[in-house]
Amino acid sequence: MKKHQITIIDIARQLNISKSTVSRVLTGHPNVSEKTREAVLKLANELDYQRNMLAINLMSSQSHTIGIIVPEFVTSFFPMVIMGAQEVASQAGYNVLISQSNESYETEVANAKVMLDNRVDGVLVSLTRETRNYDHLKVFQRKGIPIVFFNRVCDDMQVPKVVVDDYEGAFKAVEHLILTGRKRIAHLGGPTSLHVSKKRLEGYKDALRKYNQPIDPGLILDYDLNLEKVKIYIKHLLDLPEPPDALFTINDPTAFEAMIFMKAKGLKIPEEIAVVGFSNNYGSTLIEPRLTTVAQPTHQIGQVAAQLLLDQINSDASEWKPIYRVLKTELLVRGSS
């Protein structure tokens, strides 16, 4: 069914030398005569020899692969993070095994098992919105496989984490709304199980406090990130006796949905209601008015997370530290506010 692939033994036999010598040439070991080196290299090239990583992996007990588990692929956020991580990883000679949990806890568990089976040398994780139990991830720690969280991190585990300053980002966003004269700022937040949701909510509240604005619980909604429900929440807000004059959402897709719905209702953005999102996703400059949002350094998140992971892979477990890297956000003020 499968063609025979050339091995170092084939090369050794044809040249009447031992496989050890061929291996030495191919791995660049110094102790080998110029004559045999050339002969091996020449024949390897002629035969189109390709080293077999399956054997090398088993021999070295390393897969030379890092795993990445992300909740979704639809918004541009995670693909961008993956791009950054992949850059750093392949630079260092590592492959990347990507899996999506589709925001499902069970899939995340299954994916973790696949990573374990495949003996990834380390794993990068961003949790699903459902994940409450972390046993499937603690296995990695127990087995001595480094793990790094990014974006949606796990407070329960003492491992490196890479996040953006969600608190400050939200704070700046809301402060901006206040300073431009908004009096009733609503917040459509994410599920409180997610660290990011909590932090952004805190930033929202503290900005209001700083400027002595009342915190109206009726203006704070937390939803499950299911975009189809956005309409319902917005309708609820607009139907309030005192509707909001500004909306700060947990992310950009949510803001898009909200804007589309509000525009359909005839509301003027930003005159009647200002909107600010979070992430600077693809699309935020396409919608009209262009969305004011808190930009996250997606690419950098991936790079930093991958680097932290590689650092752990290449050091003794005793030296591992639960580094907590907080990257800066940037408020991009555009037409929607």
CB 220 within 8 A of CB 207: no
Q: Looking at 38, 42, 46, 55, which residue binds DNA (CB under 7 A)?
A: 55
| Distance between start and end Cα atoms, the chain | 63
The reply on whether position 62 binds DNA by CB under 7 A is: no
* Dihedral pair phi/psi, residue 295, rounded to 5°: -80, 135
CB 203 within 8 A of CB 171: yes
The reply on whether position 179 binds DNA by CB under 7 A is: no
The reply on whether position 139 binds DNA by CB under 7 A is: no
What is the number of residues in the chain?
Answer: 337
The reply on whether position 314 binds DNA by CB under 7 A is: no
The reply on whether position 192 binds DNA by CB under 7 A is: no
Q: Least distance (Å) from a second copy to the CB of residue 224? A: 21
Q: Which is nearer to DNA, 7 or 75 (CB)?
A: 7
Q: Centre a 10 Å sphere on the Cβ of residue 5 and count the other Cβ atoms it contains.
A: 10
Residues found near a second copy in the complex (CB under 8 A):
1-3, 5, 48, 50-55, 57-58, 61, 63, 73-76, 79-80, 82-83, 86, 90, 95-100, 113-114, 116-119, 139, 142-144, 256, 260, 282-283, 285-288, 316-317
The SS3 of residue 123 is: strand
Rg (CA), the chain: 26
* Paired sense of beta strands 330-332 and 292-295, if any: antiparallel
Q: Least distance (Å) from DNA to the CB of residue 326? A: 38
The reply on whether position 8 binds DNA by CB under 7 A is: yes
CA distance 288 to 68: 34
- Give contact residues for DNA (rule: CB under 7 A): 5, 7-9, 16-21, 23-24, 26-27, 30-36, 49, 51-52, 54-56, 58-61
